Amino acid sequence: MNPKNKTKVKKSRMQLLHQYYSYTGFYTFVWNAIKKAFPYIMALVVLIYVANHFFDINGALTQLTEILPTFGVLSFFFVSETLLGLIPPEIFIAWSGKMYSPWLYLSILAILSYGGGLVSYWMGRTITKAPSVHNYLEVKMEKQLKNSKKWGGFLIMVGAVLPLPFSIACIAAGIIEFPFKNVLLYGSLRFIRFAIYGLIIFNVL
């Protein structure tokens, strides 16, 4: 096939994808979600910055990995990845790089992170069972929920691959009742992120 024809096919597919997202309101949905979340994100960033100014948070966490036994570090990491996942996994990946079998411990961390996300998903499902939350979602958030269910896979992939809390993405997926089998599939991209970070951090250490 002529290379020019291939380029045309790729462009047409991208255009169709762009049209689909435009017609279904995906861009508007993402923009509105960012606008609503921005104040909370900024408040969290400022809080972390201020706290880190007075206390060396990363240093304290690094020191914690040196003090705790192996099981303690792994347990602490699993709890962190289950409850919002605000502690950067890079700290734990760097810790695994100092172990006698770095890739073994990196694999364990990846499994724990993936498992923590799945637990977070069911936490989100549990939240929706509360009558007040259920009524709010069904009545006031009906349109947003409908859109969210369309793009739940995108939400999980972003949380799994990008440096964003995977746990929060999984909790959100649970709240919108995104199919669990799809969470298992898209969430598996988490392993790719850990592999890439491992290659980078292990070569630096």
- Model pTM greater than 0.75? no
Cα 144 from Cα 114, distance rounded (Å): 26
Residue ranges covered by each domain of the chain: 1-55, 57-204
Q: What is the pLDDT of residue 90?
A: 86
Q: What is the pLDDT of residue 117?
A: 93
Q: What is the pLDDT of residue 120?
A: 92
Stretches in the chain below the pLDDT threshold 70: 1-61, 132-151, 204-205
Q: What is the pLDDT of residue 196?
A: 92
Q: What is the pLDDT of residue 31?
A: 61
Contact between 98 and 104 under an 8 Å Cβ cutoff? The reply is no
Nearest to 33 by CA among 171, 155, 116, 194: 155
